Amino acid sequence: MSKFFIGMRSLRHLFWACAVAAAACGQIPDRSADAQAAEQHVAAIYQAIEAKDFSKAAAMYSPLFYKEHSEDEWAGHLQELNKQLGDLQSFRLTKVISNSNFSGVFLTLKYKTHYSKHDAFEQFVFTTPPGGGKLQVVSHKVDIDTFNS
């Protein structure tokens, strides 16, 4: 009898471990209001990129993003990426990472993007000021997946 009980307990633990693993692999865990707002913001950036309105896309980044280069330079960079990657076909959110500390809230959104010439992995970092306020894009990184393209 006790052997059966221990077996059932182990089976129950295995079931929950599998359920947690399946949920972690198939879903984005952070669906906070900030994460949803950031997703909508990225979708708007991608819509502008799809329409090849690179100036509009560049206008959606934080002034903090433009400490090292101008908005016009970034719009030109987005246009060059379009020439290299091709037209944006689709994008899929793959991961949301949320951190908060004395500097404010930081959200990292990772995407798998499909362009007509190459696929890419893109990462957007958002922040809110310590006293609150609107989420702002402070970083956008694009890694081209030339291996699978």
pLDDT in tens, 53-97: 999 999 999 998 999 899 999 999 999 999 999 999 999 999 999
pLDDT score for 130: 64
pLDDT score for 1: 46
Question: What residues have CB less than 8 Å from 88, skipping those under 6 apart?
Answer: 46, 49, 50, 82, 113, 114, 115
Asked whether the predicted pLDDT for residue 17 surpasses 60, the reply is no
Give, in order, the Cα–Cα distances in Å from 14 to each of 7, 10, 24, 25, 27. Answer: 10, 6, 15, 16, 20
Arithmetic mean of pLDDT, 1-18: 43
Closest CA to 140 of 53, 84, 69: 69
The dihedrals phi and psi of 117, each to the nearest 5 degrees, come to -105, -35
pLDDT in tens, 88-141: 999 999 999 998 777 778 999 999 999 999 999 999 999 986 667 788 999 999
Asked whether the predicted pLDDT for residue 23 surpasses 60, the reply is no
Give, in order, the Cα–Cα distances in Å from 44 to each of 6, 41, 48. Answer: 53, 5, 6
The dihedrals phi and psi of 94, each to the nearest 5 degrees, come to -110, -25
pLDDT score for 147: 62
User: Which residues lie across from 105 on neighbouring strands?
Assistant: 100, 128
Please give the Cα distance from 29 to 20 (Å, whole number). Answer: 11
* Residue for token pair 């930081």: 106
How far is C-alpha 143 from the chain's CA centre? 13
Q: What is the model's pTM?
A: 0.76
CB 50 within 8 A of CB 88: yes
